């Protein structure tokens, strides 16, 4: 299946409706995904990226219906990750002499993963290749967005930015153009992708956007490697990224809790009541972290200005789900957010101080020393929870 993008540029990727998990079990893909690859047929015939390993055979067979593989002049690998390079070994098996244009870091990542003795041609920011008919490809390194090897490729004349993972989202759509997608679903998948994958690199994202805008390249289309191709007002997603990259937050407070015997859950509900009493317009979400998709949890944290994390003390520590989320929070390195801890305990009560220390390590500003409740909360303890909510609502 091939989809025309513009003039001599064709989408030759794979729509994966079945994908439910990505990066092992680390990222949920409720709405599937696409692996976008593109064929440019000018005087030179160029392939941009490939697809994930399970679709390698299918991809190259499909590509052959569009072009004789011997007529390909080179391939551009914008990123070495397997969801885009997975079909490279199959392609190279059939065209062993095909030159691969990529960053120096991508030579390392591709060799490190496939151990292929292929013809690499290293490019860096500003390098360009004439592909005939007055058009050329210009490369822009996108170091750490989100791997050291990442880059974007710009096609002059057609004004298409092949941005790879940047501006993408895991979203299967039959006709992958932004104007044809359900806008709410599209937005939800974009912000989830940013929150879960790009948050640690926000400073780099902000700088890179400024750098690319300063080049004054006309951008008619942003052709990403997952989800939709941005052709209707493509800079809308750049503006979103610019906002998300600057320590994004809404007027939202999110309570994340786990519980064994409902005490910590009752604390969460009472804290939420206190916030409502004090600031009725603040968006408050109360989430059982053991029963909620972890990436959806992270997206809610991304939108929050303050989070509260609650766990009962178990085995002198916190529950499994609480530790999992705290580890994610630490790795994502959120900035400009406040946090506090809460939870029930029976005797030693290590839970709350442990969560507080972990939140601090993760870069959150501690808004309150937190609240531990001995056994199940009584009327007084619940009132203390409401008071904490009222206080933190205005933190």
Ligand X SMILES: Cc1cc2nc3c(=O)[nH]c(=O)nc-3n(C[C@H](O)[C@H](O)[C@H](O)COP(=O)(O)O)c2cc1C
Count CA atoms closer than 13 A to 132's CA, side-chain side. 9
Task: Number of residues interacting with ligand X: please give it, by CB under 6 A.
Answer: 19
Alpha carbons 115 and 112: distance in angstroms, whole number? 6
Alpha carbons 271 and 372: distance in angstroms, whole number? 13
Return the active site residues.
23, 79, 81, 83, 146, 165, 193, 226
* 133: Cα separation from own chain's centroid: 36
Q: How far is the CB of 290 from ligand X (least distance, A)?
A: 11
Which residues, other chains included, contact 287 with Cβ-Cβ below 8 Å and sequence gap of 6+?
254, 255, 256, 257, 297, 300
Q: Could you say which of ligand X, Fe ion, none residue 260 binds, taking C-beta under 5 to 8 angstroms by partner kind?
A: ligand X
Tokens coding 243? 């906002």
**Of 96, 126, 134, 346, which one interacts with ligand X (CB under 6 A)?**
346
Q: How far is the CB of 348 from ligand X (least distance, A)?
A: 4
Alpha carbons 163 and 63: distance in angstroms, whole number? 21
Three-class SS state of 160:
strand
Q: Which of residues 138-177 bind Fe ion (CB under 5 A)?
A: 165
Q: How far is the CB of 80 from Fe ion (least distance, A)?
A: 9
Nearer to Fe ion, 16 or 81 (CB): 81
Q: Could you say which of ligand X, Fe ion, none residue 93 binds, taking C-beta under 5 to 8 angstroms by partner kind?
A: none
String of DSSP letters for 254-311: EEEE--SSSHHHHHHHHHHHHHHHH-TTSEEEEEETTSS-HHHHHHHHHH-SEEEEE-
Q: Does 49 help bind Fe ion (rule: CB under 5 A)?
A: no
Q: Which stretch binds ligand X (CB under 6 A): 116-124, 149-157, 216-224, 314-322?
A: 314-322
Q: Do 48 and 40 touch, CB atoms closer than 8 A? A: yes
Nearer to Fe ion, 51 or 245 (CB): 51
Q: Which stretch binds Fe ion (CB under 5 A): 64-72, 73-81, 177-185, 271-279?
A: 73-81
Q: How far is the CB of 390 from ligand X (least distance, A)?
A: 22
Q: Could you say which of Fe ion, ligand X, none residue 81 binds, taking C-beta under 5 to 8 angstroms by partner kind?
A: Fe ion
Q: What is the DSSP letter of 197?
A: I
Q: Does 81 help bind Fe ion (rule: CB under 5 A)?
A: yes
Q: Does 261 help bind ligand X (rule: CB under 6 A)?
A: yes
Q: How far is the CB of 194 from Fe ion (least distance, A)?
A: 13
Q: Does 262 help bind ligand X (rule: CB under 6 A)?
A: yes
Three-class SS state of 139:
strand
Interacting residues with ligand X (CB under 6 A): 259-264, 312-316, 344-349, 375-376
Interacting residues with Fe ion (CB under 5 A): 81, 83, 165
């Amino acid at each position: 299946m091939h989809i025309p993008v513009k003039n001599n540029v064709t989408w030759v990727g794979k729509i994966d409706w079945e994908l439910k998990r990505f990066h092992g079990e680390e990222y949920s893909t409720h709405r599937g995904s696409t692996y976008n690859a593109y064929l440019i047929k000018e005087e030179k015939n160029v392939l941009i990226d490939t697809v994930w390993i399970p679709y390698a055979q299918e991809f190259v067979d499909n590509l052959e219906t569009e072009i004789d593989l011997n007529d390909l002049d080179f391939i551009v690998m914008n990123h070495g990750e397997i969801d885009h390079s997975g079909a490279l070994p199959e392609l190279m098996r059939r065209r062993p002499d095909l030159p691969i244009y990529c960053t120096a870091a991508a030579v390392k990542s591709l060799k490190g993963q496939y151990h292929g003795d292929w013809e690499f041609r290293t490019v860096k920011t500003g390098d360009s290749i004439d592909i005939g008919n007055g058009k050329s490809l210009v490369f822009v390194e996108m170091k750490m967005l989100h791997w050291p090897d990442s880059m974007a490729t710009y096609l002059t004349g057609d004004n298409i930015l092949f941005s790879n993972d940047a501006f993408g989202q895991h979203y299967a759509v039959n006709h992958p153009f932004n104007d044809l997608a359900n806008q709410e679903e599209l937005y939800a998948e974009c912000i989830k992708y940013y929150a879960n994958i790009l948050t640690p690199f926000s400073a780099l994202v902000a700088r890179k956007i400024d750098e690319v805008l300063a080049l004054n390249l006309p951008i008619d289309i942003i052709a990403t490697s997952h989800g939709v191709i941005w052709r209707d007002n493509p800079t809308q997603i750049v503006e979103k990224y610019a906002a998300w990259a600057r320590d994004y937050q809404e007027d939202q407070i999110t309570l994340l809790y786990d519980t064994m015997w409902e005490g910590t859950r009752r604390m969460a509900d009472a804290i939420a009541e206190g916030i409502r009493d004090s600031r009725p317009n603040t968006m408050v979400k109360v989430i059982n972290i053991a029963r909620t998709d972890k990436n959806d949890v992270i997206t809610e944290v991304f939108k929050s200005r303050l989070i509260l994390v609650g766990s009962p003390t178990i085995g002198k520590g916190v529950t499994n789900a609480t530790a999992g989320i705290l580890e994610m929070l630490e790795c994502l390195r959120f900035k400009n957010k406040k946090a506090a801890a809460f939870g029930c305990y029976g005797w030693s009560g290590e839970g709350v101080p442990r969560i507080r220390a972990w939140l601090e390590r993760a870069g959150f500003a501690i808004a309150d020393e937190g609240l531990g409740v001995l056994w199940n909360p009584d009327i007084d303890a619940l009132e203390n929870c409401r008071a904490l909510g009222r206080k933190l609502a205005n933190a």
